[in-house]
Amino acid sequence: MDIKEKLNLIKKNVVELISEEELVNLLKSKEKPVVYCGYEPSGNMHLGHFVTITKLMDFQKAGFKVIVLLADVHAMLNRKGSIEKINNYVNIWKKTIKAIGLNAEVVTGSSFQFSRDYILDVMKMSQEITLHRGLRSMTEVGRDMENATISQLLYPLMQIADIKALKCDIAYGGIEQRKIHMLAREMKDIINYNPIVVHTPLITSLKGPGSKMSKSIPGSGIAVTDSDEEIKKCISNAYCPEKSNEDNPLLQIMQLIIFPRIDELEIKRPEKFGGNIIFKNYEELEKYYVEGKLHPLDLKNAVTNELIKIISPIRENFK
């Protein structure tokens, strides 16, 4: 794979890359660059996580070393549960990542976040970042920020320090990470580190716009532990506006999770509704759907079938 092919693969389904010039220079100068993505291990992996895991697989294909940070300390600071609960999910996540087939170095935050150099970087940044700026960076990722705690102000500083400590060339995440990642670039002269940042879009809740994709909200998302029947029920009831690609979670799932894993998609329909049809890429599917040539029910059936193919083998590891 040449540099142009690697660049195109990395940019696929990406909503922000800062900067492309820096990325090209990185690909030219380093044989095996390092990318990382962090996750709070406070619950089972769900569809939202699958977007970033899928993109990490693209980085892997492009020759990157992939680091997955299981941010156990961050989860605690963000009030996501007890240490015991978080440690349990660390083990579950390790099994899940292995079952998915992502060849990543899996690191826990607590394994390096108490070192002298790490703490020193956090302290340096704490002198430069105002309370207002720190709180603003947490608006998309913090829990109950109306009643923010001091621990949540440490969160973005530590996330920035993680990037340097793990020697990452690229900090990658969903677009909700943008404020922290941009703050990281602002801190380049303070901690002498300046990562490239890459962001992918978020999937709309299966309940539609205005709702959050969370397992605490029934019907809003799907976890890797869900049964085939639970997946079918959830997708059957999902928000899927006819002839529209705006905030349509099922089209988003097709684009960000399913098509990156397949060469083509066959949707089976009775002859009276047009018969079976094959799509070579997501763009073909979206155009067909927006033109009203594909019924929402047919799209739902296709998403259900493909998600079951992806999730069932992973779920087997938990039996």
Look at residue 112 and give its three-state secondary structure: coil
Q: Quick one: residue 174, left, alpha or beta (phi over 0 = left, psi -120 to 50 = alpha)?
A: beta
Asked if residue 200 has pLDDT above 70, the reply is yes
Amino acid occupying residue 257: I
SS3 96: helix
Going by their DSSP bridges, the two strands 170-174 and 34-39 should be labelled as: parallel
Q: List pLDDT tens digits, range 134-161.
A: 888 777 666 666 777 787 888 899 999 9
Is 318's pLDDT higher than 80? no
Note the pLDDT of residue 134. Answer: 81
What contacts 220, CB < 8 A, 6 or more positions away?
Answer: 205, 206, 207, 211, 212, 213, 214
Which stretch of DSSP H or E encloses residue 71? none
Per-residue confidence (pLDDT) for residue 182, from 0 to 100:
96
Helix (H) or strand (E) holding 224: none
Q: What CATH topology corresponds to 228-318? A: Tyrosyl-Transfer RNA Synthetase (1.10.240)
Under 8 Å between Cβ of 220 and 228: no
Q: What is the pLDDT, as a whole number, of residue 217? A: 81
Mean pLDDT of the chain: 93
Least confident of 21-35, 135-149, 256-270, 280-294: 135-149
Mean pLDDT, range 84-105, rounded to an integer: 94
Q: What is the pLDDT of residues 28-73, one digit of tens each?
A: 999 999 999 999 999 999 999 999 999 999 999 999 999 999 999 9
Is-cis flag, bond preceding 19, omega within 30? Answer: yes
Count of beta carbons in the 10 Å neighbourhood of residue 189:
9
Q: What is the CATH number of domain 3-200?
A: 3.40.50.620
- Which position has the higher pLDDT, 16 or 219? 16
What is the predicted pLDDT for the residue at 148? 72
204-224: pLDDT as tens digits: 999 999 776 776 788 889 999
Q: What is the pLDDT of residue 151?
A: 78
The pLDDT confidence band at residue 312, using thresholds 50, 70 and 90, is very high
Distance CA 221, CA 235 (A): 9
Q: Which two tokens stand for residue 145?
A: 């920020």
Yes or no: say if 290 and 263 are a contact pair by the CB < 8 Å rule: no
16: helix, coil or strand? strand
Q: What is the pLDDT of residue 140?
A: 65
In this predicted structure, what is the pLDDT of residue 219? Answer: 83
Helix H or strand E encompassing 206: none
What are the domain boundaries of the chain? 3-200, 228-318
Asked if pLDDT for residue 120 goes beyond 90, the answer is: yes
pTM of the model: 0.93
Provide, rounded to the nearest whole percent, the portion of the chain with pLDDT above 90.
82
Strand 105-108 and strand 65-70: the pairing is: parallel
Percent of the chain exceeding pLDDT 70 equals: 97
